[in-house]
Structure 1
């Protein structure tokens, strides 16, 4: 089966199925580094805890986009 035939078959899928296929294809060529994902997850949790504890303040979305 060639690329053209695969594309034609893929275009017959429902939009949600096509998006899932795109995600799977992208992941197959650009696998995330699990160690980096763990580091970012830890950092996100640390920042969330600091925000909830009142140690840092959030920035309103409008202010972020105004810059």
Structure 2
């Protein structure tokens, strides 16, 4: 089925079915909060592993904010 055929079929559906279709399509584009939380948890675990393995070094917060402040003054 081509895109045009699909669109033609979709617009001919009853309004309540089109609404369900739209909601489902939007859900497929936007991850749920649960999915977002899972992605952040995975990212946090990866970062912890990198720190613990010595792959990356941490920078104290006061140094980070000092550098930011210096850059903003430029």
- TM-score (norm. length: structure 1): 0.50
Q: Where does residue 61 of structure 2 map in the other structure?
A: 61
Which ranges in structure 1 are unaligned for 5 or more consecutive residues?
A: 1-31
Following the alignment from structure 1 to structure 2, what is the Cα–Cα distance between the partners of residues 50 and 62?
A: 22
Q: Cα RMSD (Å) of the superposition? A: 1.3
> What is the number of residues matched between the two proteins?
36
Length-normalised TM-score, structure 2: 0.46
- Alignment correspondent of 2:34: 34
Structure 2 alignment gaps of length 5 or more: 1-31, 69-74
Matches within 5 A, 1:40-55: 40-55=40-55
- For the residues of structure 2 that align with 1:64 and 1:41, how far apart are their CA atoms? 24
- Higher percent of residues as helix: 2
**Higher alpha-carbon Rg:** 2
Q: CA deviation at 1:40?
A: 0.3
The C-alpha deviation readout for 1:4-58, integer Å capped at 9, x for no partner, is xxxxxxxxxxxxxxxxxxxxxxxxxxxx700000000000000001100000000
